[in-house]
Structure 1
Amino acid sequence: MIRVAACQYAIELFETADSYAEHLRALCRQAAGQGARLLLLPEYAGLVLSGQLPTAQRGDLLASIAGIQPLLEGWKALCADIACELGIYLQPGSAPVRDPDGRYRNRAWLFGPDGCLGHQDKLMMTRFEREQWSIEAGEGLRVFDTDLGRLGILICYDNEFPLLARRLAEGGADLILAPSCTDTEAGFHRVRIGCQARALENQIAVLQSPTVGLAPWSPALDENIGRAGLYVPPDYGMPADGVAASSAELCPAGSQWLIADLDLDEVRRVREHGQVFTRRDWPEQFADGVLRLR
């Protein structure tokens, strides 16, 4: 049994590095103080660093992501220090990163008690990212080995594509972390429904963390809505609707943690003794990613 925490993360303005560090450290201590060993923050949570930029720069869509690039190493060091201090696994959301090829990618790192375990890039770009923000897709999927179990990361829109989660499941992932950022209720539900479907199909668990609240100072994170949730396959011994836990409010006034206990052994049990075997019965025609037509 592990205790996990997914944050409904309110986008707030922190104009100095010290005020932001104090905020993030206090937020993580709050969850760890309730026994959580795995903490998840949402997609683009790292873009809150743009609050430290001059007003005009943080209010410019493209200039804001360029401006935070020198701040990212300090952010990663802060996250690593928090994970070490609290003895937790921390996925602090994602941030747009400029790679050596000059292109931006949406990247999520995972930190553990002993340091950084690596990162996962977003693979499927939304229209906003592709058409207005010039953020490009990354490559490949990774399964992370931790003391809590094997897990993967699918960032927001990635959860709406079945084959991505399937590859992680085939790689041994029992839990997928789904940091998300949506500005409409419909967008939130698209990702949430995708998360639930991926849990059902692969008989695994999916943990979702969304951004919430208004941030008029940021053209990228100006409107945010969503609920945090933990989803499992609806089957024997599991919640009938597949929702193991969900935040009570759709858009709270400030950041709130959803704390839940997750028994991955019970999730694995469903694969062997469930009412259905969706994971095992995945059609052979899907093996190469293409459903063959007769």
Structure 2
Amino acid sequence: MTIAAAAYPLDWCHSFDDYAGKLRDWVAGAAGQGADLLVFPEYGAMELASLGGAEVAADLQGALSEVARHAPQVDEVLAGLAAEHGVYILGASGPVFTGKRPVNRAVLYGPQGVIGHQDKQIMTPFERDDWDVTAGRDGLAVFDTPIGRLGVVICYDSEFPLLSRALAEAGVEILLAPSCTETEAGFTRVRVGSMARALENQCVVVQAPLIGTAPWCAGVEENTGRAAIYGPPDIGWPANGVLAEGEMDAPGWTLAQVSRARIRQTRAKGGVLTLQHWPEQSARLSRPIQVITTS
């Protein structure tokens, strides 16, 4: 299959039709290049805050509420585009209110409509302290689709190995890691985490970042990154584990072809077998740690 990762900038939208038109153009662009799976970034939905006007968009809580208000319309547009082009789309994540405080939710769409969603599991300090966005309560989701078994680790989640490990043990072959990072250091953390998850779990990881500036939107004023698709650095894969990557902070799609058969072969007969050998850590850790002191 062909996977497309978006390096996606935020734009001011004067109407919901502006936003829908932008999505149509982006999806058509990736589908026109043969993409089967399209991945949009974390908090890419925040440009919908512009529909509330400048004062709302500049206010942290106002922006979250305004974006959440449009979630049903976004579902309708992206489900329609997935059906029109016969593709699978991980939509840009955004706030959804399931209680008094929002979760950070990414929704997966397919040709038949909405497949399901994944809420971010571990919140960054900014999300906890400034936005008061809460962790999802539904746990992890595995999406068993005709193009493969997919899992989602939103940004910070990709930096914690046990989340991805649980998904890999549930048969996930492709991890989707939409991200939103202000600095190059933040982007690098997600990049390193994503590459490590591909190594540990002998799978493909797709990083799709928010990029560019949006000084009018609270919380996502500056965004840095590059889109990339990673695999395990093993037999039959690129030696550096990078299947494809875009230019830094350059908007557009980055595409790579991925073979599910190669993932299965690597997990069964790779140069190393990190997926199979993972449980051996427990046996080693059950032994006392030796503290060796030197003078």
Into which bin does the TM-score normalised by the smaller protein fall?
Answer: over 0.9
Q: Check if 1:130 corresponds to 2:128.
A: yes
User: What residue in structure 2 maps to residue 241 of structure 1?
Assistant: 240
User: What residue in structure 2 maps to residue 47 of structure 1?
Assistant: 46
User: What residue in structure 2 maps to residue 141 of structure 1?
Assistant: 140
The residue type paired with residue 197 of structure 2 is: R
Q: TM-score, normalising length from structure 2?
A: 0.95
The answer on whether the counterparts of 1:143 and 1:151 sit within 8 Å (CA) in structure 2 is yes
SS at structure 2 position matched to 1:62: helix
Q: Check if 1:115 corresponds to 2:113.
A: yes
Instruction: Write out per-residue CA displacement over residues 116-154 of structure 1, whole angstroms, 9 at most, x where no aligned residue.
Output: 111011001000000100001113111101110101001
Query: Structure 1 residues 53 and 286 mapped into 2: Cα distance closer, same or farther (>3 Å)?
Result: farther
Measured after TM superposition, the shift of residue 285 of structure 1 is 4.8
Q: Which moved more, 1:199-208 or 1:263-272?
A: 263-272
For structure 2, the 5+ residue unaligned runs are 289-295
User: What residue in structure 2 maps to residue 210 of structure 1?
Assistant: 209
User: What residue in structure 1 maps to residue 291 of structure 2?
Assistant: none
The answer on whether the counterparts of 1:150 and 1:175 sit within 8 Å (CA) in structure 2 is yes
Which of 272, 276, 290 pairs up with 1:276? 272
Q: TM-score, normalising length from structure 1?
A: 0.95
User: What residue in structure 1 maps to residue 31 of structure 2?
Assistant: 32
User: What residue in structure 2 maps to residue 151 of structure 1?
Assistant: 150
RMSD: 1.4
User: What residue in structure 1 maps to residue 257 of structure 2?
Assistant: 261
Query: Structure 1 residues 236 and 56 mapped into 2: Cα distance closer, same or farther (>3 Å)?
Result: same
Larger Rg: 2
User: What residue in structure 1 maps to residue 292 of structure 2?
Assistant: none
Query: Structure 1 residues 292 and 106 mapped into 2: Cα distance closer, same or farther (>3 Å)?
Result: farther
The answer on whether the counterparts of 2:51 and 2:66 sit within 8 Å (CA) in structure 1 is no
The answer on whether the counterparts of 2:10 and 2:46 sit within 8 Å (CA) in structure 1 is no
CA distance, structure 2, for counterparts of residue 86 and residue 31 of structure 1: 10
User: What residue in structure 2 maps to residue 94 of structure 1?
Assistant: 93
Instruction: Write out per-residue CA displacement over residues 257-283 of structure 1, whole angstroms, 9 at most, x where no aligned residue.
Output: 001111121122111221111111103
Number of aligned residue pairs: 287
CA distance, structure 2, for counterparts of residue 167 and residue 229 of structure 1: 23
The residue type paired with residue 102 of structure 2 is: Y
The answer on whether the counterparts of 1:15 and 1:53 sit within 8 Å (CA) in structure 2 is no
SS at structure 1 position matched to 2:167: helix
Query: Structure 1 residues 291 and 217 mapped into 2: Cα distance closer, same or farther (>3 Å)?
Result: farther
The residue type paired with residue 194 of structure 1 is: G
Measured after TM superposition, the shift of residue 292 of structure 1 is 3.7
Runs of at least 4 residues of structure 1 off by over 4 A? 284-287
